[in-house]
Amino acid sequence: MKFTFSSFLGFFISLLVLLTGSADTVGVVKFTENLPSWLQIPFLDFASFFVVIGGMLCGLFVMYPAWTVFKAIGAVKSMFSHYDGKLEILEKEIENILKYKEEFVADKNGFIERVSRSNPDKLTKYLFELVSTNYTTHEVREIGEVYIDKRSTEEVKKADVLDMMAITSPAFGMFGTVLGLIVMLQNLDDPSAIGPGLSLALLTTLYGTAFANLLFAPLAKKIRFNSVLNSAREQLVLEGILMVKDGRSALMIKDQLYSLIGKGSSGDDKK
């Protein structure tokens, strides 16, 4: 192993966020009190937020490379994006491969150039670039399977990071709760300070639990589910493009690909 500056920088910044939230919680700094009035909303406490997020990220930058952490965080943008049903996706890919067959036979070089330039699917572009070389079908299959396995592994890494985020968020929620209780116990002689201290203590637990169960854990499961579905789609694309390369007939391609998804080429389920 070697020292990675990006991981150190991520850890250092996350630690500053954690310390800022902790200092605000115990009253060393007055960050929350100096916020504009429009940000002073019930159940919105930036000190608690900083404690949970800062502490969670500190652990992540120790456990994983910085780029892996950033990619996992970036997966949040696809929180409300979904694939269509598995069968519909696979049938659509079969239709695409049959179109590729026609265009490949009509103009091989021109078709591969068009795919490389405009096809949105990275695997399809990559496989047709391999087809344009002198690789054998067996070699293209091996390279394609390595590519698919690598893509799937990257998705699993993101899911693992999100799982760890779901585990550590409640833990740092409890960390903030302890800090809030310290504030409350330090002010037992002032009844007016007990309520805010207890509220602060409970908010960090609320944030940690909410982040874990409403965001991180569901997103990790979603990534794993979509990765399995996408792997099935990519295996189908690989088989189809290999048959196109081998010059199989459109009927044979259609029948073999539909058999891979457990359906007849007519679209009826096999009995």
Per the listing, tokens 């269509």 go with 84
Give the pLDDT confidence score for residue 192 in this predicted structure.
66
Judged against a pLDDT cut of 60, whether residue 269 lies above it is answered with: no
Beta bridge partners of 251: none
Phi-psi bin for 54: left (phi > 0), alpha (psi -120 to 50), beta? alpha
**Mean of the per-residue pLDDT values for the chain?**
87
> To which residue do tokens 């590519």 refer?
147
The DSSP secondary structure of 190-205, one letter per residue, reads -HHHHHHHHHHHHHHH
**How many Å apart are CA 44 and CA 40, to the nearest integer?**
7
135: amino acid identity, one letter: Y
Distance of alpha carbon 168 from alpha carbon 146, whole angstroms: 33
Contact 123, 132 (CB under 8 A): no
> Which carries the bigger pLDDT value, residue 270 or residue 263?
263
Mean pLDDT of 105-109: 90
Per-residue pLDDT at 108 exceeds 80: yes
**What is the Cα 44 distance to its own chain's centre?**
26
The answer to whether 54 touches 15, Cβ cutoff 8 Å, is yes
Residue 127 pLDDT greater than 70, yes or no:
yes
Tell me: pLDDT of 263 over 80: no
Share of the chain above pLDDT 70, in %: 90
Distance CA 106, CA 99 (A): 11
pLDDT at 55 over 60: yes
How does pLDDT run across 216-241, given as a tens digit for each residue? Answer: 999 999 999 999 889 999 999 999 99
Q: Is the pLDDT of residue 198 over 90?
A: no
CA nearest neighbour of 181 among 206, 195, 201, 199: 201
Mean pLDDT of 3-7: 90
Confidence of residue 197 (pLDDT cuts 50, 70, 90): low
In the chain, domain spans: 5-82+157-211
- Residue 138 identity (one-letter amino acid): H
* Distances 254 to 86, 111, 140, 193, 200 between C-alpha atoms, Å: 18, 20, 20, 73, 62
Q: Are 32 and 45 in contact (CB under 8 A)?
A: yes
Q: pTM above 0.85?
A: no
Instruction: Convert the pLDDT of each residue in 138-178 to its tens digit.
Output: 999 999 999 999 999 999 999 999 999 999 999 998 988 88
Number of H helices, E strands in the chain: 10, 0
CA distance 50 to 75: 21
The Cα 203–Cα 174 span in angstroms is 10
Task: Judge contact between 56 and 176, C-beta under 8 A.
Answer: no
